[in-house]
Amino acid sequence: EKLDELTKYVLTKEPEYQEYIQISKSLKEEAKSLYGESKRESKDAEKNALFDLKKRTGNAILTELKKQDSQIKPLIESMDQMQSIYNERSFRTLKQLPTNEYKYSYEEFMKRRKQFQQRVVTQRSLRQLNRTINAHEEKYHASKAYEEQQRRIQMEQERQ
Protein backbone atom coordinates (compact mmCIF):
# COMPACT_ATOMS: atom_id res chain seq x y z
CA GLU A 1 0.00 0.00 0.00
CA LYS A 2 2.77 2.44 0.93
CA LEU A 3 4.70 1.56 -2.21
CA ASP A 4 1.57 2.10 -4.31
CA GLU A 5 1.07 5.51 -2.69
CA LEU A 6 4.72 6.45 -3.27
CA THR A 7 4.56 5.27 -6.87
CA LYS A 8 1.37 7.24 -7.49
CA TYR A 9 2.93 10.33 -5.87
CA VAL A 10 6.10 10.07 -7.97
CA LEU A 11 4.18 9.53 -11.20
CA THR A 12 1.73 12.39 -10.63
CA LYS A 13 4.63 14.78 -9.95
CA GLU A 14 6.08 14.08 -13.40
CA PRO A 15 4.60 16.25 -16.20
CA GLU A 16 5.39 13.53 -18.74
CA TYR A 17 2.96 11.18 -16.95
CA GLN A 18 -0.08 13.20 -18.09
CA GLU A 19 1.37 13.29 -21.59
CA TYR A 20 1.85 9.52 -21.44
CA ILE A 21 -1.79 9.03 -20.38
CA GLN A 22 -2.98 11.15 -23.32
CA ILE A 23 -0.80 9.23 -25.78
CA SER A 24 -1.97 5.86 -24.47
CA LYS A 25 -5.60 6.98 -24.77
CA SER A 26 -5.07 8.12 -28.34
CA LEU A 27 -3.35 4.83 -29.19
CA LYS A 28 -6.26 2.95 -27.65
CA GLU A 29 -8.73 4.91 -29.76
CA GLU A 30 -6.62 4.32 -32.87
CA ALA A 31 -6.47 0.58 -32.19
CA LYS A 32 -10.22 0.53 -31.51
CA SER A 33 -10.92 2.21 -34.84
CA LEU A 34 -8.61 -0.20 -36.70
CA TYR A 35 -9.45 -3.50 -35.04
CA GLY A 36 -12.75 -2.89 -33.25
CA GLU A 37 -13.46 -3.02 -29.54
CA SER A 38 -12.39 -6.06 -27.53
CA LYS A 39 -14.70 -7.40 -24.86
CA ARG A 40 -11.87 -8.96 -22.86
CA GLU A 41 -10.42 -6.72 -20.16
CA SER A 42 -7.01 -8.36 -20.46
CA LYS A 43 -6.72 -6.90 -23.97
CA ASP A 44 -7.14 -3.29 -22.82
CA ALA A 45 -3.83 -1.78 -23.97
CA GLU A 46 -4.22 1.43 -21.98
CA LYS A 47 -4.77 -0.36 -18.66
CA ASN A 48 -1.96 -2.79 -19.39
CA ALA A 49 0.46 0.02 -20.27
CA LEU A 50 -0.40 2.00 -17.12
CA PHE A 51 -0.08 -1.14 -14.99
CA ASP A 52 3.30 -1.85 -16.58
CA LEU A 53 4.50 1.70 -15.95
CA LYS A 54 3.41 1.57 -12.30
CA LYS A 55 5.04 -1.83 -11.88
CA ARG A 56 8.33 -0.61 -13.35
CA THR A 57 8.28 2.54 -11.23
CA GLY A 58 7.55 0.53 -8.08
CA ASN A 59 10.41 -1.85 -8.85
CA ALA A 60 12.75 1.10 -9.44
CA ILE A 61 11.76 2.58 -6.08
CA LEU A 62 12.30 -0.75 -4.32
CA THR A 63 15.74 -1.30 -5.82
CA GLU A 64 16.78 2.25 -4.94
CA LEU A 65 15.57 1.82 -1.35
CA LYS A 66 17.45 -1.48 -1.01
CA LYS A 67 20.61 0.15 -2.34
CA GLN A 68 20.27 3.04 0.10
CA ASP A 69 19.58 0.64 2.97
CA SER A 70 22.82 -1.21 2.25
CA GLN A 71 24.68 2.14 2.23
CA ILE A 72 23.13 3.35 5.49
CA LYS A 73 23.54 0.11 7.44
CA PRO A 74 27.32 0.54 8.04
CA LEU A 75 26.72 4.10 9.23
CA ILE A 76 24.16 2.91 11.77
CA GLU A 77 26.51 0.18 12.98
CA SER A 78 29.35 2.68 13.43
CA MET A 79 27.01 4.98 15.35
CA ASP A 80 26.09 2.08 17.63
CA GLN A 81 29.78 1.39 18.22
CA MET A 82 30.38 5.05 19.05
CA GLN A 83 27.43 5.00 21.44
CA SER A 84 28.76 1.90 23.20
CA ILE A 85 32.20 3.55 23.52
CA TYR A 86 30.54 6.64 24.94
CA ASN A 87 28.61 4.55 27.46
CA GLU A 88 31.78 2.71 28.53
CA ARG A 89 33.84 5.85 29.11
CA SER A 90 32.96 8.63 31.45
CA PHE A 91 32.90 12.10 29.94
CA ARG A 92 33.11 15.27 31.89
CA THR A 93 30.03 17.47 31.97
CA LEU A 94 29.93 20.96 30.45
CA LYS A 95 30.71 22.63 33.78
CA GLN A 96 33.80 20.48 34.23
CA LEU A 97 35.18 21.22 30.78
CA PRO A 98 37.92 23.82 30.57
CA THR A 99 36.86 26.55 28.18
CA ASN A 100 39.91 26.34 25.90
CA GLU A 101 40.32 22.56 26.02
CA TYR A 102 37.21 21.49 24.10
CA LYS A 103 35.18 23.39 21.58
CA TYR A 104 32.06 21.24 21.84
CA SER A 105 30.71 18.83 24.37
CA TYR A 106 29.77 15.31 23.34
CA GLU A 107 26.06 16.16 23.44
CA GLU A 108 26.54 19.07 21.05
CA PHE A 109 28.59 16.86 18.75
CA MET A 110 25.89 14.16 18.69
CA LYS A 111 23.17 16.74 18.06
CA ARG A 112 25.03 18.34 15.13
CA ARG A 113 25.95 14.98 13.63
CA LYS A 114 22.37 13.77 13.81
CA GLN A 115 21.04 16.91 12.08
CA PHE A 116 23.67 16.67 9.35
CA GLN A 117 23.14 12.95 8.80
CA GLN A 118 19.36 13.26 8.52
CA ARG A 119 19.60 16.06 5.98
CA VAL A 120 22.26 14.36 3.84
CA VAL A 121 20.52 10.99 3.79
CA THR A 122 17.18 12.40 2.71
CA GLN A 123 18.62 14.72 0.06
CA ARG A 124 20.87 11.99 -1.32
CA SER A 125 18.07 9.44 -1.34
CA LEU A 126 15.72 11.81 -3.14
CA ARG A 127 18.34 12.62 -5.78
CA GLN A 128 19.17 8.96 -6.36
CA LEU A 129 15.52 8.02 -6.46
CA ASN A 130 14.79 10.79 -8.94
CA ARG A 131 17.71 9.74 -11.17
CA THR A 132 16.63 6.10 -11.15
CA ILE A 133 13.02 6.92 -11.93
CA ASN A 134 14.04 9.26 -14.76
CA ALA A 135 16.34 6.60 -16.24
CA HIS A 136 13.59 3.97 -16.12
CA GLU A 137 11.10 6.42 -17.56
CA GLU A 138 13.41 7.32 -20.46
CA LYS A 139 14.00 3.64 -21.15
CA TYR A 140 10.26 3.00 -21.07
CA HIS A 141 9.51 5.92 -23.43
CA ALA A 142 12.22 4.73 -25.82
CA SER A 143 10.84 1.19 -25.88
CA LYS A 144 7.30 2.49 -26.46
CA ALA A 145 8.50 4.73 -29.30
CA TYR A 146 10.33 1.77 -30.83
CA GLU A 147 7.23 -0.44 -30.57
CA GLU A 148 5.09 2.31 -32.10
CA GLN A 149 7.53 2.72 -34.98
CA GLN A 150 7.59 -1.04 -35.57
CA ARG A 151 3.80 -1.11 -35.58
CA ARG A 152 3.66 1.73 -38.12
CA ILE A 153 6.18 -0.03 -40.35
CA GLN A 154 4.17 -3.23 -40.15
CA MET A 155 0.92 -1.41 -40.97
CA GLU A 156 2.63 0.32 -43.91
CA GLN A 157 3.90 -3.01 -45.22
CA GLU A 158 0.43 -4.54 -44.92
CA ARG A 159 -1.08 -1.70 -46.97
CA GLN A 160 1.35 -2.27 -49.84
Residues 61-81 pLDDT 10s: 899 888 888 888 888 888 888
**Cβ atoms of 17 and 11 closer than 8 Å:** yes
- Phi/psi at 88 (5° precision): -75, -35
Q: How far apart are CA 104 and CA 94, in angstroms?
A: 9
Mean pLDDT of the chain: 79
Separation CA 108–CA 83 (nearest Å): 14
pLDDT tens digit sequence for 15-30 = 888 888 888 888 888 8
- Cα–Cα distance measured from residue 45 to residue 25, given in angstroms and rounded to the nearest whole number: 9
Helix, strand, coil % over all residues of the chain, rounded to 5: 85, 0, 15
Whether pTM > 0.85 for this model: the answer is no
